Amino acid sequence: MAAKVWGILNQKGGTSKTTTATNLASCLAVAHKKRVLLVDLDPQGSSSDWAAARGETPGDIGVIPTVAMGKALARDLPRIASGYDYVLIDGVPQISELTAAAIKASDVILIPVQPSQYDIWACGDLVQLVKDRQELADGKPAAALMIARAIPNTLIERDAREALEGFELPILKAQTCQRQSYVRGVDTGRSVMDLPADDKGRLEIEALALELMELSK
């Protein structure tokens, strides 16, 4: 069975794209015992740095191999992804050939958006690129927006959801919030899955993973 490919994309930097990708990868590997490959498209290489700091060796529980790829993504990914259950692509923070390649290669596109009008405006071009691909490929890939780094139960969060509805893409119920959980231990390659089972950040990522797994079906 072919791997499910999730592209975590946003043309704007600082949207929690890498944080979301690395934590989702950890959740799939640790909580769901899936074989996960993390693909780093970002020239900054943050996902690759995280994986290197993690210091895993083959056979470790929750091991997450990570590879840096470029424009040949759509061509080479089917070969590289062989043997994995999920492939997560940490995209480049711009609209480019790499972004188009990631959209083409993905089964699901996740667009994390911070609850700021500037961030909402900034993702418009990416949303259109995804919709253009869906028109050409019989509705594929599936795509959804997610509010990232939210401050729960605030007018800002509510207004952001209302503004995102204008893009006419699904908005996930799951979201991530502004928490120390997401930055604690990053320098040693840790994730929220290394925190207690009742940690709020961990619960957010677990809910997000389940919603995306359902979207992948």
Read off the CATH number of the domain in which 74 is found.
3.40.50.300
Q: Are 77 and 87 in contact (CB under 8 A)?
A: yes
Average pLDDT over residues 103-120: 94
* Region of poorest pLDDT, from 65-79, 81-95, 96-110, 196-210: 65-79
- What one-character-per-residue DSSP string does 80-126 give? HTTT-SEEEEE--SSSSHHHHHHHHH-SEEEEEE-SSHHHHHHTHHH
What's this model's pTM, rounded to 2 decimal places?
Answer: 0.94
Average pLDDT over residues 125-131: 96
Confidence (pLDDT) at 72: 83
Provide the pairing of β-strand 4-8 with 66-68: unpaired
Confidence (pLDDT) at 75: 85
Which DSSP symbol is given to 151?
-
Domain count, the chain: 1
Neighbouring residues of 177: CB distance < 8 A, sequence distance ≥ 6 = 149, 150, 151, 152, 200, 201, 204
Average pLDDT over residues 175-199: 94
Q: Are 111 and 21 in contact (CB under 8 A)?
A: no
Rounded CA-CA distance 117/29 in Å is 34
Helix, strand, coil abundance in the chain, percent, nearest 5: 45, 15, 40
| Alpha helices (H) along 137-177 | 155-164
Domain range for residue 136? 4-216
Average pLDDT over residues 139-158: 90
* pLDDT at position 61 over 70: no
